[in-house]
Amino acid sequence: MPASRLVVRLNALALGLISLALVAAFADQLLLGELPCPLCLLQRAALIAAGLGFLLNLRFGIRPLHYGLAILAALSGAAVAMRQVLLHIAPGDPGFGHALFGLHLYTWAFMAFVGIICGIAILLSLPGSMDGQAAPRERGRFVGLVIILFVVLIVGNLVSTLLECGLTQCPDDPVRYEWIAGIASLLQGDAR
């Protein structure tokens, strides 16, 4: 397999893993009823921004600018995740939300962002990593599906955030979907 093709496939894998992390976050929100806090939403947005770098690579070919965007996004996400880790670092603090394998989701998010940066460093170190600068002609079914899933997840996050926070600032410790509660109270008011 040519090195450039391998790099394209690894970019698709990275976008797939980011989509998987976003699906897991949604599962946590919808199945376990844990509403994401503002910092959690920012970490999701940073994951999406990092994914945009890989999406650019898949659509237009491998370019340094695309990797640069993904690294910037991962750095911003790591800063947000570290901010949340430090908010809950005091002894006795239970942290926000539940733990997964002994670590909170924001700690996993921090490791994921560091992993993205390390992954890009490895991708850039592969021989011929910048050879395939032309847009890939055939992306394959897997890549197409991953791209569609990624876009659907962005739409889902936008809708979910609007329902949770509306057009204003999100509460620090959200307990309900503000727009759904607002619509419900409006309907109840009309019924009276």
Residues forming contacts to another protein in the complex (CB under 8 A) are 38-39, 41-42, 45-46, 48-49, 52-53, 55-56, 59-60, 65-66, 69, 72-73, 76-77, 79-80, 83, 147, 150-151, 154-155, 157-158, 161-162, 165, 167-170
Closest to another protein by CB, 100 or 159: 159
**Three-state DSSP class for 104?**
strand
Minimum CB separation of residue 24 from another protein in Å reads 17
What length does the chain have?
A: 192
Closest to another protein by CB, 80 or 101: 80
Degrees, nearest 5: CA angle 59-61-67:
95
Minimum CB separation of residue 188 from another protein in Å reads 25
Cα(125)–Cα(129) distance, rounded to whole angstroms? Answer: 7
Task: Give the contacts of 163 (CB within 8 A, at least 6 positions apart).
Answer: 177, 178, 179, 180
Degrees, nearest 5: CA angle 87-118-10:
125
Closest to another protein by CB, 80 or 123: 80
Closest to another protein by CB, 41 or 105: 41
Minimum CB separation of residue 165 from another protein in Å reads 5
Q: Are 150 and 15 in contact (CB under 8 A)?
A: yes
